[in-house]
Amino acid sequence: MDKQDQYRITTSCIIPAAELFFSYSRSSGKGGQHVNKVNTKVSLIFDLEASPSLTEEQKTLLKQRLGNRLNKQGILRLDGDRQRSQRGNQEEVIQRFISLLRDALYIQKSRKKTKPSRNAKQRRLQGKKKRGQLKQQRGKRNFEQE
């Protein structure tokens, strides 16, 4: 994924690359000398409150759903240090950012209530009656009354 000018989150939500701030630092973990010399860890910083790309409804929804990931100023910070290269970590953190926002902005459609058709009700009742008659036939019979 090459550097883009904007990132499409949903059909109605596009975030310009200018709103994303990246900082780089040295990553921890294995890698020998390479890890100690190169700033491969990428931190993506997105200011949710100051973003002109999001509507107030979207900001409210994101605050509710991403509340534990935001700091007190309403800033979202994602770190990526799984890859050995800075570019790989940046691509990974951008993809995580897009999927995180996409999942948080998704509104589940409400279920339409349906009811069984008249024929379905009749079939069900006929089956119950048939079963009831079958069970009644199993019962003890009094031969003196017949």
CA–CA gap between residue 1 and residue 94 (Å, rounded):
10
Whether 120 is in a domain gets the answer no
Q: What is the three-class DSSP state of 65?
A: helix
pTM beyond 0.75: the answer is no
* Domain tally, the chain: 1
Average pLDDT on 32-45 reads 82
Count Cβ atoms below 10 Å from residue 101 Cβ, excluding itself.
Answer: 23
Residue 141, C-beta contacts closer than 8 angstroms, at least 6 positions apart: none
Least confident among 9-18, 85-94, 112-121: 9-18
CATH code, 76: 3.30.160.20
What's the pLDDT tens digit per position in 76-97?
999 988 888 889 899 999 999 9
